[in-house]
């Protein structure tokens, strides 16, 4: 497969819970391919947003059949790179821990702590592969974060700048004590898909940033005795509705950077 088959892809978007398609894509073509690491979560949809060519992949599959620990993060990122993407915007549903991250807020986190386990988190384990110890001081690409921030300002969309994302194993939600521990560790947000995706993107040399959509107060952080899927989906729908506008503004910002 050659990158030329798909034109120059300015941005690849990985959609999380609640974002399974970008309906505004024009001239859309779907493709998929096996990678050396297996099959990705589903088709990559490549199309135009105005004059900008972007690629979209639903992390959990278009029918949300893959739980966070079963997502083939390696195959997803590998395929996006293979078709010529150099920048990845990850959309992640999260729970809010810090008070800036109330339900329906959109955050642009700048740090991660990885609490996941048993996920393959590197491309450096096949025999004969060079072992890379990639720098993760800044796990999200600062220039892409800055572009996102500028785009949100231009589009008049409120975003919360910065914050530490705690990546948990799922698929169950956390206990109150687990969230209290994450808070003590300095986490502002909690989600199940931030890792190993960010580390793998760094190994592949991809620019990578996250839009974290707050679906609920994390366990024990709000007034509610428990987290319901109804509130999760209602809040995510609200936050997700702003994403296409934000992506369009990001493409403008990147074009003029």
CA dist 230 and 228 (Å) reads 5
Residue among 169 and 252 whose Cβ is closer to ligand HPA:
169
> CB of 240: closest distance to ligand HPA in angstroms?
12
DSSP 77-141: HHHHHHTT--EEEEEEEEEE-STT--TT-EEE--EEEE---SS---STTSTTPPPP----SSSS-
CA dist 77 and 197 (Å) reads 8
> CB of 97: closest distance to ligand HPA in angstroms?
9
> CB of 29: closest distance to ligand HPA in angstroms?
31
**Residue carrying structure tokens 């030329």:** 4
Residue among 88 and 221 whose Cβ is closer to ligand HPA:
221
Q: Which of 54, 3, 1 is nearest to 26 (CA)?
A: 54
Which chain residues interact with ligand HPA by CB under 6 A? 93-95, 168, 173-174, 190-192, 215-216, 218
Q: Dig out the tokens for 50 from the structure.
A: 């105005």
Residue among 40 and 194 whose Cβ is closer to ligand HPA:
194
Distance of CA 102 to the CA centre of its chain: 19
Residue among 16 and 42 whose Cβ is closer to ligand HPA:
16
> CB of 61: closest distance to ligand HPA in angstroms?
17
> CB of 205: closest distance to ligand HPA in angstroms?
28
> CB of 111: closest distance to ligand HPA in angstroms?
17
Residue among 112 and 173 whose Cβ is closer to ligand HPA:
173
Distance of CA 96 to the CA centre of its chain: 16
Residue among 168 and 253 whose Cβ is closer to ligand HPA:
168
Residue among 88 and 93 whose Cβ is closer to ligand HPA:
93
Residue of this chain nearest to ligand HPA (CB atom): 95
CA dist 187 and 163 (Å) reads 7
Q: What is the CA radius of gyration of the chain?
A: 17
Residue 137 — φ and ψ, nearest 5°?
-55, -50
Angle at 36 between CA 33 and CA 37, to 5 degrees: 95
> CB of 167: closest distance to ligand HPA in angstroms?
9
């Amino acid at each position: 497969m050659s990158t030329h088959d798909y034109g120059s892809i300015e941005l690849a978007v990985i959609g999380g819970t609640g974002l399974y398609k970008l309906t505004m894509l024009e001239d859309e073509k779907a493709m998929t391919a096996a990678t050396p690491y297996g099959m990705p979560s589903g088709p990559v949809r490549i199309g135009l947003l105005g004059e900008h060519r972007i690629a979209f992949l639903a992390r959990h599959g278009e029918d949300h059949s893959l739980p966070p620990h079963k997502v083939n993060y390696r195959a997803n990122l590998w395929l996006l790179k293979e078709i010529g993407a150099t920048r990845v915007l990850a959309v992640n549903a999260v729970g809010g821990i810090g008070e800036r991250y109330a339900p329906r807020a959109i955050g642009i986190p700048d740090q991660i702590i990885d609490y996941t386990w048993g996920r393959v988190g590197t491309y450096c384990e096949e025999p004969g592969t060079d072992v890379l110890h990639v720098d993760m001081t800044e796990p999200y690409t600062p220039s892409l974060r800055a572009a996102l921030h500028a785009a949100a300002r231009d589009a008049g969309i409120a975003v919360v700048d910065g914050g530490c994302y705690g990546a948990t194993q799922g698929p169950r939600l956390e206990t109150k004590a687990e969230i209290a521990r994450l808070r003590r560790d300095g986490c502002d947000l909690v989600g199940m898909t931030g890792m190993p995706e960010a580390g793998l993107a760094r190994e592949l040399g991809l620019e990578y940033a996250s839009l974290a959509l707050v679906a609920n107060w994390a366990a024990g952080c709000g007034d509610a005795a428990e987290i319901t899927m109804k509130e999760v989906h209602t809040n995510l729908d609200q936050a997700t509705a702003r994403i296409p506008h934000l992506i369009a503004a990001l493409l403008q910002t990147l074009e003029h950077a």
